[in-house]
Structure 1
Amino acid sequence: MQCAIGWGLLLAATLAVAQAAEPAAAPAAETPRTLLVMGDSLSAGYGMAADEGWVALLGEDLARNRPGWRVINASISGETSAGGSSRIVPELMRHRPDVVVIALGANDGLRGLPIREMRRNLARMIGASQHVGAGVLLVGMRMPPNLGGDYTGRFEALYRELADFFEVPLLPFLLEPIALDRQAFQDDNLHPTVQAQARLRDHVRAALEPLLDGDRAPPRRDE
């Protein structure tokens, strides 16, 4: 009961903050539909040209196969969930997206930041996006085992908890297609290479398909 009350208060607070972003009117037939990506360096295309990252490749793919869709990449290298939470309402007001991809948390985990704060930040982003009528794809991450089993377990479970609570689809692990391929990473062993970006694009694209068809809450993707 105490947990349920806590979630209820969190949702109420999220919606109250999101009042600043009024729901977008239904777009006219000729108005492009917008997909907004809120991520970190993994989505910003760290170490490569802007048009080489998976988000840019997704934009090209949608331009070819989903006429009328445009992709806005609001990802920032080094971004934490707190940074995304502070930016979400202005980005929603600026772009009026139909779909929001939230791919944050990696930097929280690598810095060992508190799980409860990450939960609050991501919940605010999801709630604000839903408040303006956007569909949401939550993209998860996993942490290396050297951070400890308790922390890594709670970190991974957090994404599932949020996906269940807000009834949004979940892509459990952004790097899943390349995680075991050392050649798919740059010298820092953290950021994918240019050659790996198409695999990441296809991974995300498959999870996005129901949202692109207009389904705001398709069954979430489990492993």
Structure 2
Amino acid sequence: MIRLLSLVLVVTFSSYASGSTLLILGDSLSAGYQMPIEKAWPSLLSQSLQEKGKNVTVINASISGDTSGNGLMRLPLLLQKHKPDTVLIELGANDGLRGFPLKVLQSNLSTIVRKIREEGSKPILMQIHVLPNYGKRYTAAFSKVYPTISNSDGVPLIPFFLEKVVTKPEWMMPDGLHPTEHAQPWIAEFVASQISEYL
């Protein structure tokens, strides 16, 4: 038993030593909403990246319901604990659903980017779009927050995976907001193709 445990520790250490670590800071879209966590796309992402020649340990720090403010509050401890090489930021949908001021969203995301860099990690931002619950003007302005941060802060911006998923009704839950378990492998492959060049 002791020899087996030692072997596991050696393999785990080797994986960390020879590869890189990716932290996913997200909400229910990444947290495996209403499904086993091992079925969620972040759990499948490491394999998708490995197929692209990237040895990456993926840490899913996503929590359903989190806003950009929640993510910002949790970030320092996550960076200290995991010391990731890269952080994928998938936040903002809940800010939009609650009609939060866009200045708050932009400030939170920019601060998240800055704190990630201060710890020596590389940030990657995912574009988020929201339903037009608060009118076309708010929806359009919301979407512009992400390229604005990308340009002003020099952070890579990758497309929102849900844009492709919503075109397949069988991939969406009845709430019209969350992807089903069947969509997760495709999302993992999509995200892997978008971020591999930055890892």
Q: TM-score range by the shorter chain?
A: 0.7 to 0.9
CA–CA separation in structure 1 for the residues paired with 2:134 and 2:54? 44
CA–CA separation in structure 2 for the residues paired with 1:172 and 1:136? 15
Question: Is contact 1:33–1:70 with CA below 8 Å preserved after alignment?
Answer: yes
SS of equivalent residue, structure 2 residue 23: strand
CA–CA separation in structure 1 for the residues paired with 2:134 and 2:150? 24
Question: Is contact 1:45–1:53 with CA below 8 Å preserved after alignment?
Answer: yes
Question: Is contact 2:116–2:123 with CA below 8 Å preserved after alignment?
Answer: yes
Aligned 1:156-167 pairs, distance under 5 A: 156-167=143-154
Shift in Å, 1:175: 0.7
Equivalent AA in structure 1 for residue 29 of structure 2: L
Q: How many residues align?
A: 184
SS of equivalent residue, structure 1 residue 176: helix
CA–CA separation in structure 1 for the residues paired with 2:155 and 2:166? 24
Extract unaligned runs of 5+ from structure 2: 1-15
Q: 1:57 aligns with which of 44, 47, 64?
A: 44
Extract unaligned runs of 5+ from structure 1: 1-28, 213-223
Shift in Å, 1:64: 5.6
TM-score with structure 2 setting the length: 0.87
Asked if residue 189 in structure 1 is aligned to residue 139 in structure 2, the reply is no
Please name the residue that 1:5 is paired with. none
CA–CA separation in structure 2 for the residues paired with 1:173 and 1:65? 20
Aligned 1:23-172 pairs, distance under 5 A: 30-63=17-50, 66=53, 68-172=55-159
SS of equivalent residue, structure 2 residue 161: coil
Root mean square deviation of aligned Cα: 1.7
Please name the residue that 1:24 is paired with. none
CA–CA separation in structure 2 for the residues paired with 1:145 and 1:84? 23
1:46–1:89 Cα change, 3 Å: same
